Structure 1
């Protein structure tokens, strides 16, 4: 009976706060970020802010992306790869290409294409009138 009550409580808690496993993964990710050298941590935190605004919004897909980001930066830090060598000359181009590798990042590309096509169709209708 106690296990059943706990299960209901956890179900309710996850309904209100989101999946507990995702929160655990997020805390683990943030601990890994803290373990990076200062310049790598600064770069990861900047990319994280960008991804929070423009990246995938779902928990599992986003967490996979952040964990992959950590793999990249932990390896780069271990190898001594300069930050500019990771991002290249255009950090936005890098982060957009990085996001495109994840399903919800591809959603943004599809929506951009859909939007561009709709504007093109509307512009063609202007020429007909």
Structure 2
């Protein structure tokens, strides 16, 4: 990856297109699970989304293997895809921008309330 690719994000676009091409080869139920996984994992993204690429690659690989083995999505992921994504992202490491903004807002409000109270 060169400097220009890093700045423009063209490497991410190329990688995302490769993910989508792989996902199109999945059966319909696995493809639907992929869509849900990408939606839930986006909450754990950093500003660029680079931190999610290895996680997404692993999740898609899991879906590809289970589809090849003839396993259903429910057997592999269960009912809680959101929990599966949280486990993949790693609870503490995978905190997203929303969590950081929420903590910052809470700190600022607490500081202002302390100033008003005395």
User: With structure 1 as the length reference, what TM-score do the two structures score?
Assistant: 0.62
8 Å contact kept, 2:41–2:86: no
Poorly superposed stretches of 4+, deviation over 4 Å: none
Q: Max radius of gyration: which structure?
A: 1
Q: Give 5+ residue unaligned stretches, structure 1.
A: 1-6, 123-129
Change (3 A) 1:101 1:25: farther
Partner of 1:4 in structure 2? none
**What do you get for the CA RMSD once the two structures are aligned?**
3.1
8 Å contact kept, 2:45–2:51: yes
Which one of 16, 41, 66 corresponds to residue 26 of structure 1?
A: 16
Cα-to-partner distance string for 1:78-100 (whole Å, 9 max, x where unaligned): 11111111222322222211221
Which one of 38, 47, 55 corresponds to residue 44 of structure 2?
A: 55
Which one of 85, 90, 100 corresponds to residue 95 of structure 1?
A: 85
More contact order relative to length (CA 8 Å, sep ≥ 6)? 2
Structure that is richer in helix per residue? 1
1:34, 1:74 → 2: CA distance?
A: 11
The reply to whether residue 75 of structure 1 matches residue 65 of structure 2 is yes
